[in-house]
Structure 1
Amino acid sequence: MFQRWRAVGVLAAALFVVNVVARLVIKFAYPDDDTAAGRVSLVMFLVIGLILAATAFRWGADRPAGHWAGDLAVAVVAALALTVFVGPLLVGENPFEGGAGLFFAQIWLYLASTAAGVLVGYLTLTALGRDYRSRQLKRYAELKATKPRKVVRR
């Protein structure tokens, strides 16, 4: 059980660190350039999506979808809360500085990038036939095919 929650915590921390690095790059490298800041944010969302795609690909092969989906949801919600509330404070900004529109846009973009990453990872795994359910069905079919036929006496 501890291993399961440790993995969730490490994933949430990794997602938060990606956001902090992007915020620091924007603050120190591009303080007044909105175009570059937008590009760095786009790269941050892509990296977050790739991390979650790789995680969904890895966890989906070992566990049923209900187990790893819940773990990913907890990690994403924890990372989102840290990103929205703590991330701006680390670079000297107010989380609500841009107003409600920017605050909620940040949440929706984060959720969209995480959902896209998880879908890409899991759909790739399923298309390759390496997900937990596909492997389970394959083992069942092999087991049924190798059983000897029962002889019926009349």
Structure 2
Amino acid sequence: MGQRWRAVGVLAIALFAVNVFARLVIRFGFDGDDTVADRVSLGMFVVIGLLLAGVAFVWGARRPLARWAGEVAAAIGIAVGLTVLVGPLLVGDNPFAGGGGTFFAQIGLYLVATTVGAMLGYLLLVTLGRDHRSRSLQRYAENTAAKPRRVVRR
């Protein structure tokens, strides 16, 4: 059980670290330039999506979807909470400085980026036939084909 929560925590911290890095780049490198800040934010969302695509690809090959999807959802929930509440404080801003619309738009964009990333990683895994379910069905088919049917004499 501890291993599951450790993996969730590490993933949440990794997602939060990407956000903190992007905030620090915007704050110290391009403070006041909104076009560059938008590009850095877009890059952050792409990196977060790619990170989750990789996690979904690796975890989906090893474990059933029902098991790892909950862990990824928990990590995303923790990361989005840290991102919108703690992230702005690290660079000297107020989480609600832009108003409610900006606050909820940030949550929405984060959830869209993470969901799309995880779905793309898992869909690629399924397309390649390397997901847990496809591999277990393949093993079942190989086992049933390898053993001839026993004839019962009465």
Give the residue type in structure 1 aligned to 2:151: V
Write the distance in 2 (CA, Å) between the matches of 1:76 and 1:111: 8
How far off its partner does 1:152 sit? 4.2
Residue 148 of structure 2: aligned partner: 148
Q: Does 1:126 align with 2:126?
A: yes
Residue 85 of structure 1: aligned partner: 85
Give the residue type in structure 2 aligned to 1:115: T
> Which SS does the other structure have where 1:73 is aligned?
helix
| Structure 1: runs of 5+ lacking an equivalent | none
> Which SS does the other structure have where 1:35 is aligned?
helix
Write the distance in 1 (CA, Å) between the matches of 2:153 and 2:67: 47
> Which SS does the other structure have where 2:97 is aligned?
coil
Write the distance in 2 (CA, Å) between the matches of 1:32 and 1:151: 80
Give the residue type in structure 1 aligned to 2:35: T
Q: Which runs of 4+ in 1 moved over 3 A?
A: none
Write the distance in 1 (CA, Å) between the matches of 2:112 and 2:4: 25
Q: What is the count of residue pairs matched by the alignment? A: 154
Map 1:1-154; keep pairs closer than 5 Å: 1-153=1-153
List per-residue Cα deviations over 1:76-98 (Å, max 9, x = no partner): 00000000000000000000000
> Which SS does the other structure have where 1:31 is aligned?
coil
Write the distance in 2 (CA, Å) between the matches of 1:42 and 1:17: 15
TM-score, structure 1 as length reference:
0.98
TM-score, structure 2 as length reference:
0.98
Question: What percent of counterpart residues are identical?
Answer: 66
Cα RMSD for the two superposed structures: 0.9
Write the distance in 1 (CA, Å) between the matches of 2:31 and 2:85: 20
